[in-house]
Amino acid sequence: MEKDELDILFKNLQGEFDIENPSKKHQDRFLEKLNSQQGTIPVKIRKATWWKPLSIAASFLLIGVLTFLIYPDNSSLDEQVAEIAPEVSKTEFYFANLIEQQVTELKTASSPETKQLVDDAMNQLNKLEQDYKGLEQDLINGGNSKMILSAMITNFQTRIDLLQDVLARIESIKKTENNDDEISTI
């Protein structure tokens, strides 16, 4: 019968039960009162602090990104090209020496009559040099390496052809002047 009496009791009290959860501070107050009555020292429970390690990791990431942006790769354009295509540096060394010899020869062959021709040739060489720097940058940026390498070699050949053409014109001007001098002395 006891079971029937309990069932009746619960049916009569239905809807009157407190089903709300206590606040989080309720447990803290309860433990504090319990500890004060028993004379024990309360142990504070630390809550998980996941944000501290995360903020430290974020700080390191931020420092790394800022360092990369402020101090970019210090290797020169030539070094970067040599890393991508080592054969370019050898070819460039050969052509650069050949061009430098011809430029020196051009400057020594310069005269007042050929000054304009030499100045124009030097301007054209500077333009071709700027084009070459652009090709190097394209190579570093990951362009079609075969086409760019071919264009780089063509650039060197164009410079050499230009210098040879200008030197040939200077020689023809000098021969013409020598012929004019011989004719005027006769």
Residues in contact with 122: Cβ distance below 8 Å, sequence separation at least 6, in sequence order: 103
Place of tokens 């050929």: 114
Q: Taking the CA atoms of the chain, what radius of gyration do you get in angstroms?
A: 44
Residue 27: how many other CB atoms lie within 10 Å: 10
> Is pLDDT at 131 greater than 60 in this prediction?
yes
Q: Report the number of distinct structural domains present in the chain.
A: 1
- Is there a domain that residue 31 lies in? no
- Is there a domain that residue 50 lies in? no
Q: Which of 71-101 are b and which e, b meaning 16 or more Cβ less than 10 Å from the residue's Cβ?
A: eeeeeeeeeebbeebeebeeebeebeeebee
Residue 122: how many other CB atoms lie within 10 Å: 16
Most confident option among 84-93, 108-117, 162-171: 162-171
> What is the value of pTM for the model shown?
0.53
- Is there a domain that residue 134 lies in? yes
- Is there a domain that residue 40 lies in? no
- Is there a domain that residue 130 lies in? yes
**Cβ atoms 162, 110 nearer than 8 A:** no
> Is pLDDT at 124 greater than 90 in this prediction?
yes
CA-based angle 101:84:70, to the nearest 5?
100
- Is there a domain that residue 65 lies in? no
- Is there a domain that residue 36 lies in? no
**Cβ atoms 174, 161 nearer than 8 A:** no
Residue 117: how many other CB atoms lie within 10 Å: 16
> Is pLDDT at 173 greater than 60 in this prediction?
yes
Look at residue 43 and give its three-state secondary structure: coil
pLDDT of residue 57: 85
Q: Determine which helix (DSSP H) or strand (DSSP E) holds 108, and give its type and residue range.
A: helix 86-108
Determine the Cα–Cα distance for residues 178 and 167; give it in Å rounded to an integer.
Answer: 16
Give pLDDT tens digits for 55-101: 888 888 888 887 777 766 555 656 666 666 667 677 777 888 888 88
- Is there a domain that residue 95 lies in? yes
Domain holding 106, by residue range, is: 77-185
